[in-house]
Amino acid sequence: MQNNGIQPNAITYSTIVSIWEKAGKLDRAAMLFQKLRSLGVQIDQVLYQTMIVAYERAGLVAHAKRLLHELKRPDNIPRETAIMVLARARRVEEATWVFRQAFAAGEVKDISVFGCMINLYSRNKKYTNVVEVFEKMREVGYFPDSNVIALVLNAFGKLREFEKADALYSQIHDEGCVFPDEVHFQMLSLYGARKDFTMVESLFEKLDSNPNINKKELHLVVSGIYERADRLNDASRIMNRMNHKAIGNHDHA
């Protein structure tokens, strides 16, 4: 490629580095990475991530630490990029540090950075942090997608902040957001966890009359909620209702 005068770009380099890393030729990967840096090549987030993993696999902890440290004080890449790299490399503390600094400086403009942090915290069961990032996201006027909403509802549930979950669900719904089934089911489960069976029934009825909801899944979710609460009569009532509907539909067909 180079003989033909074609200059490789960051993606080409990332690919080569990751091939060497997977083949266990970590010294080569490291040498190429150093060379790129000395040439001043624009290094993208995938390449950074790949190198952090490569250094750690090779036991070159000092090198990995130096890269992480650079990402904490990035001068050669935007802080948003640094946050994404750290979050995807599952570096909770470092990502948190850079995110808070960048947010305070008004540098977090990309909605996917918020999503990335919420995913990271959720995976690591840091539910207070999930809520913190979500509140910052709303503060700057960003509208969360359904994946983020599901993770935030889950976090509220784990923190036993049921009223907040309720308020979020209603507010986003009123703003005209169309939820995927998972978000509705998440809310049903939260009502179940709170043992608020009036709300379980009320939401169940509402969803059951919504033509866009997967009815079989809905009945299974609600039946499961009752089963976990040892309300077996209710669980079987829901399942019977589903079977009854299925037979009814069959007859119409």
Q: Are both 118 and 101 inside the same structural domain?
A: no
Whether residue 186 is contained in a domain is answered as no
Q: How confident is the model at residue 171 (pLDDT cuts 50, 70, 90)?
A: confident
Whether residue 187 is contained in a domain is answered as no
Quick one: pLDDT at residue 38?
A: 73
Quick one: pLDDT at residue 59?
A: 74
| CA gap 99, 65 in Å, rounded | 18
Tens digit of pLDDT for each residue in 175-210? 777 778 888 898 999 999 888 899 999 999 999 888
| Structural domain boundaries, residue 154 | 112-179
Whether residue 77 is contained in a domain is answered as yes
As for how many domains the chain has, the answer is 3
Whether residue 14 is contained in a domain is answered as yes
Q: Are both 42 and 93 inside the same structural domain?
A: yes
Quick one: pLDDT at residue 43?
A: 67
> Is the pLDDT reported for residue 231 higher than 80?
yes
Q: Are both 97 and 14 inside the same structural domain?
A: yes
Q: pTM for the whole thing?
A: 0.70
